[in-house]
């Protein structure tokens, strides 16, 4: 369950960081966003990566948590990259699904 939570957090974080890039903004939204929106996307993406790193270290310790995070982050980045490249219209659906799955995973871990 923890790996699934890390994966969903990393999908959301990589999506935010990718959406903060000008080229991807034109692909996803049809125009570039204003500077404040870009900074918010960068901040949210960075905070989510940091949260997933802290979570991985708390669950598995530093020697296992960081490599697990890097592996999960690689798979999340691969999925986001393929989605932006081949199906940019499904990008929003991917993020909504990842958010719902992360909420359900947190619920399963807590209860």
> pLDDT by residue (tens digit) across 18-52?
999 988 888 888 899 999 999 999 999 999 999 99
Distance of alpha carbon 80 from alpha carbon 91, whole angstroms:
8
* Res. 88: pLDDT tops 90: no
Handedness of CA 107, 19, 57, 4 (dihedral sign): positive
User: What are the backbone dihedrals phi and psi of residue 33, each rounded to the nearest 5 degrees, phi first?
Assistant: -85, 165
Distance of alpha carbon 35 from alpha carbon 101, whole angstroms:
30
More confident residue, 28 or 74: 74
The DSSP 8-state label assigned to residue 93 in this structure reads H
Structure tokens at 88: 């940019």
Residue-range domain boundaries for the chain: 7-89
Structure tokens at 5: 């939570």
Contact 2, 109 (CB under 8 A): yes
The confidence score (pLDDT) of residue 108 equals 93
What pTM was computed for the model? 0.92
DSSP-based helix, strand, coil % in the chain, nearest 5: 90, 0, 10
């Amino acid at each position: 369950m923890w790996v699934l939570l890390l994966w969903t957090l990393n999908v959301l974080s990589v999506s935010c960081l990718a959406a903060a890039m000008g080229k991807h903004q034109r692909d996803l939204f049809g125009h570039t966003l204003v500077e404040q929106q870009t900074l918010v996307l960068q901040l949210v993406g960075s905070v989510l990566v940091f949260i997933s790193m802290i979570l991985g270290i708390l669950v598995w310790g530093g020697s296992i948590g960081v490599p697990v995070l890097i592996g999960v982050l690689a798979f999340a980045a691969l999925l986001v990259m393929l989605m932006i490249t081949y199906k940019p219209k499904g990008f929003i659906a991917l993020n909504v699904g990842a958010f719902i799955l992360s909420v359900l995973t947190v619920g399963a871990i807590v209860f």
